[in-house]
Structure 1
Amino acid sequence: MPTASRGAGTGGPGLTDRTQIATSPGPPGGADASRRPAALTRCVAVDPASFADVYWGREPLLSRAVDLGGPAGFTDLLDRPAADQLLSQHGLRTPFVRVARDGEVLAEPTYTAGAGAGAEIDDQVLDERVLGLYADGATLVLQGLHRLWPPIISFVGELSTTLGQPLQANAYLTPAGSRGFATHYDTHDVFVLQTEGRKRWRVHDPVLIDPLPQQTWSGRADEVVARSGSAPALDVVLGPGDALYLPRGWLHSATAQQESSIHLTIGVRAFTRYSLVEALLELAVTEPRLRTSLPFGADPGEPAGITSELTATVAVLRDWLASVEPDQVAARMRRRAWSAVRPAPLPPLQQADRIRTLTVDDVIRRRPGLRWRLTSQSDDRVNLQIFDRTVSFPGGCVPALRTVLDTAGVRVGDLPGLDTGADQLVLARRLLREAVAIAG
Structure 2
Amino acid sequence: MSPVDDAGQYPGAAPGPGVLTSRLIDIPQQLFAEEHWGRKALLTHRAGDFADLFSPAAVDELISRRGLRSPFLRVAKDGETLPVSSFTSPGGVGATIGDQLDDTALWRHLDAGATLVLQALQRTWEPIGDFVTRLAEELGHPVQANAYITPPQNQGFDDHYDVHDVFVLQISGTKRWIIHEPVVDHPLRDQPWTDRRDEVAAAAADAPAIDAVLEPGDVLYLPRGWLHAATAQGEVSIHLTLGVHTWTGHAVAEQLAQAVTTILRDDPEIRASLPLGVEELDQDIVDLVKKRFADALDQADPRPAFHRTRRSQARPAPLGPLAQLRAVNDLGPDTLVSWRGGLDSTVTGSRLMTRVGWLDLTDEELTAVRRLLDGEVLTCGEFGTHLTRRLLRAGVVVPVQS
TM-score computed with the length of structure 1 as normaliser: 0.82
Q: Displacement, 1:393?
A: 4.8
Give the 3 Å change call, closer, same or farther, for CA 191–284 of structure 1 in structure 2. Answer: same
Partner AA of 1:53 in structure 2: E
Give the 3 Å change call, closer, same or farther, for CA 348–39 of structure 1 in structure 2. Answer: farther
Q: Is the 8 A contact 2:13 2:138 kept in 1?
A: no
Question: How far, CA to CA, are the matches of 1:277 and 1:432 in structure 2?
Answer: 37
Question: How far, CA to CA, are the matches of 1:429 and 1:320 in structure 2?
Answer: 43
Partner of 2:52: 76
Q: Displacement, 1:119?
A: 1.9
1:407-418 correspondence runs (5 A): 407-415=375-383
Q: Which moved more, 1:333-342 or 1:246-255?
A: 333-342
Give the 3 Å change call, closer, same or farther, for CA 85–283 of structure 1 in structure 2. Answer: same
Q: Is the 8 A contact 2:21 2:28 kept in 1?
A: no
Partner AA of 2:395 in structure 1: A
Q: Displacement, 1:53?
A: 0.7
Q: Does 1:164 align with 2:137?
A: no
Q: Displacement, 1:105?
A: 0.4
Which of 321, 335, 341 is residue 368 of structure 1 equivalent to?
A: 341
Q: Does 1:331 align with 2:304?
A: yes
Q: Is the 8 A contact 2:18 2:138 kept in 1?
A: no
Q: Which moved more, 1:391-400 or 1:427-436?
A: 391-400
Q: Displacement, 1:50?
A: 0.7
- How big is the alpha-carbon RMSD for the aligned residues of Structure 1 and Structure 2? 2.3
Q: Is the 8 A contact 1:176 1:261 kept in 2?
A: yes
Partner of 2:314: 341
Question: How far, CA to CA, are the matches of 2:30 and 2:176 in structure 1?
Answer: 29
Partner AA of 1:433 in structure 2: R
Partner AA of 1:159 in structure 2: L
Q: 1:209 aligns to what SS in structure 2?
A: coil
Q: Which moved more, 1:73-82 or 1:247-256?
A: 73-82
Give the 3 Å change call, closer, same or farther, for CA 213–307 of structure 1 in structure 2. Answer: farther
1:151-190 correspondence runs (5 A): 151-190=127-166
Give the 3 Å change call, closer, same or farther, for CA 136–402 of structure 1 in structure 2. Answer: same
1:104-253 correspondence runs (5 A): 104-253=80-229
Question: How far, CA to CA, are the matches of 2:72 and 2:21 in structure 1?
Answer: 25
Q: 2:228 aligns to what SS in structure 1?
A: strand
CA offsets 1:127-184 (integer angstroms, 9 cap, x no match): 0000100100000000000111011011111111110110000000000011001111
Partner AA of 2:19 in structure 1: A
Q: Does 1:96 align with 2:96?
A: no
Partner of 2:356: 388
CA offsets 1:266-302 (integer angstroms, 9 cap, x no match): 00011100111110121122213655655554446xx
Q: Displacement, 1:371?
A: 2.2
Question: How far, CA to CA, are the matches of 2:189 and 2:270 in structure 1?
Answer: 27
Question: How far, CA to CA, are the matches of 2:175 and 2:14 in structure 1?
Answer: 35
Q: Is the 8 A contact 2:89 2:99 kept in 1?
A: yes
Which of 48, 58, 73 is residue 29 of structure 2 equivalent to?
A: 48
| Structure of greater relative contact order (alpha carbons < 8 Å, 6+ residues apart) | 1
Question: How far, CA to CA, are the matches of 2:327 and 2:69 in structure 1?
Answer: 33
Q: Which moved more, 1:191-200 or 1:339-348?
A: 339-348
Q: Displacement, 1:242?
A: 0.5
CA offsets 1:54-88 (integer angstroms, 9 cap, x no match): 100000000001xx23xxx2122111011000000
Q: Which moved more, 1:282-291 or 1:309-318?
A: 309-318
Runs of 4+ more than 6 Å apart: none
Q: 1:365 aligns to what SS in structure 2?
A: strand
CA offsets 1:192-212 (integer angstroms, 9 cap, x no match): 000001111111111111011
Question: How far, CA to CA, are the matches of 2:270 and 2:249 in structure 1?
Answer: 22
CA offsets 1:329-368 (integer angstroms, 9 cap, x no match): 1111110111212222232222222222222123322112
Q: Displacement, 1:321?
A: 1.7
Q: 1:162 aligns to what SS in structure 2?
A: helix
Q: 2:302 aligns to what SS in structure 1?
A: helix
Question: How far, CA to CA, are the matches of 1:84 and 1:329 in structure 2?
Answer: 45
Q: Which moved more, 1:147-156 or 1:356-365?
A: 356-365
Partner of 1:418: none
TM-score computed with the length of structure 2 as normaliser: 0.89
Partner AA of 2:367 in structure 1: P
Q: Displacement, 1:388?
A: 2.9
Partner of 2:4: none
Question: How far, CA to CA, are the matches of 1:337 and 1:173 in structure 2?
Answer: 31
Q: 2:70 aligns to what SS in structure 1?
A: coil
- Count, aligned residues: 386
Q: Is the 8 A contact 2:327 2:335 kept in 1?
A: no
